[in-house]
Amino acid sequence: MPRAILHVDLDAFYASVEQRDRPELRGKPVIVGGHPTRGVVVAASYEARPFGVRSAMPMAQAVRRAPQAIVVPPRFEAYVAASERVFAIFESVTPLVEPLSLDEAFLDVGGSVRLFGPPAEIARRIRGRIAAEVGLTASAGIAAVKFVAKIASDLAKPNGQLEVPADETVAFLAPLPVGRLWGVGPKTEAVLRALGLRTIGDIAATDPARLERRLGIAGRELWELSRGIDEREVVPDRQARSVGAEDTFEEDLSGMEALRPRIHSQALRVGRRLRRAGLRARAVQLKVKFGDFRLVTRRTTLEEPTDDGQTIYRAALGLLERLAPLQPVRLTGVAGQEVTAEAGQLGLFAAGPRPADRLNAALDRLADRFGRAAVTTADLAEADADEDPDRPRRP
């Protein structure tokens, strides 16, 4: 039986959260970003996109293209809160959920068909719940292959879904441009075009040995993808023996001041997820992907297992400071590794709950009752303001 893989992607996520929370913004062009004359666009609503506004565009250029657009500063804690509600919906359908960022994931729903119906019906159920419970729209792609499901969800946007039956995969891919394939950036696309290959169907019809001579092992991989051959599984955190959180930024970030609150937010999310699962982590890993797609990971072992987000943050921040990234960064991730359900070795005399444990329990109760943004830290509140010069600052 063919695999049943969904790629679910929230539509214009950051901008949609702003429109959800501020009804006066609905139906209007919205740009999420910094000051209108500096910084870059973090996200643009669908109403702003016909004017040519895109993420990572300089704000001054975006405002010139869409002078009637409403500019709002990012609120990252609000986006994290919405993301966690969406992922809870995913996990209610299948345990096989592979997060890609705050707003998208792969789901293997092959084992859920008996409970919830065909994959297309599962996708409709998920999208309906996201709309009803979180107030956002999502698009979904359904396929037997991960990257085909991703392409399908892109083509279904906004607020739609597209299913590609397994036996129609090659025909579906054939007319698409080569840039749709995983691993094809501007340089590889130029090589393929020099070979006369402009569509995925052109690659599928080519002798793979020819591609290998020009591109090495990557040439064989592209040929296999063009034929719908991709055995990569959906890999949830639990299979990796770690609990993590990572984000791909809408714009590359530079400097420690920009990166610290992102690492802090990720570490706090890891701590919450560990506590929710009754787990502790012995090691912390930091992942950094640069603007040129170079990936670096660093890891440290803690003195004792922890589920405390602040402890995880201090460890991750130490790794970041030693790395001292000088290039722009497009992704960061924090993970608790060597995960265990044991609370650690007990001392001779039993100790009561630590202050951090009591604080975390209280914060978890507040978050469960009033939402993620009910209590936050100063640096995350400042990150949410993101260059807004009119927002009052703490003394």
Question: For the chain, give me the number of helices (H) and strands (E)?
Answer: 15, 12
**pLDDT computed for residue 372 by the predictor:** 47
Query: Cα separation of 251 and 258, whole Å?
Result: 11
Query: Cα separation of 346 and 350, whole Å?
Result: 7
Bridge partners (DSSP) listed for residue 300: 284
Greater model confidence, 295 or 21: 21
Selecting among 104, 163, 246, 250, the annotated active-site residue is: 104
Instruction: Over range 126-155, report the average pLDDT.
Output: 96
- SS3 readout for 252-295: EECCHHHHHHHHHHHHHHHHHHHHHHCCEEEEEEEEEEECCCCE
pLDDT tops 60 at residue 218: yes
Q: How confident is the model at residue 356 (pLDDT cuts 50, 70, 90)?
A: low
Is 250 a catalytic site residue?
Answer: no
pLDDT tops 60 at residue 377: no
7-16, 26-35, 337-346, 348-357: segment of lowest average pLDDT: 348-357
Query: Cα separation of 122 and 338, whole Å?
Result: 33
Query: Cα separation of 66 and 57, whole Å?
Result: 12
Q: How confident is the model at residue 205 (pLDDT cuts 50, 70, 90)?
A: very high
- SS3 readout for 96-120: CEEEEECCEEEEECHHHHHHHCCHH
Instruction: State both tokens at 182.
Output: 């995983």
pLDDT tops 50 at residue 395: no
pLDDT tops 60 at residue 388: no
Query: Cα separation of 261 and 255, whole Å?
Result: 11
Whole-number Cα distances in Å, 112 to 92, 146, 161, 239, 320: 10, 17, 18, 18, 40
3-state secondary structure of 385: helix
String of DSSP letters for 201-255: HHHHTS-HHHHHHHHTHHHHHHHHHHTT---PPP--GGGGTEEEEEEEEEEEE-S
Whether 307 contacts 281, CB under 8 Å = yes
Q: What are residue 2's phi and psi, to 5 degrees?
A: -60, 150
pLDDT tops 70 at residue 270: yes
Q: What are residue 112's phi and psi, to 5 degrees?
A: -105, -5
pTM, to two decimals:
0.65
Query: Cα separation of 197 and 146, whole Å?
Result: 23
338, HSE (Cβ side, Cα atoms, 13 Å): 14
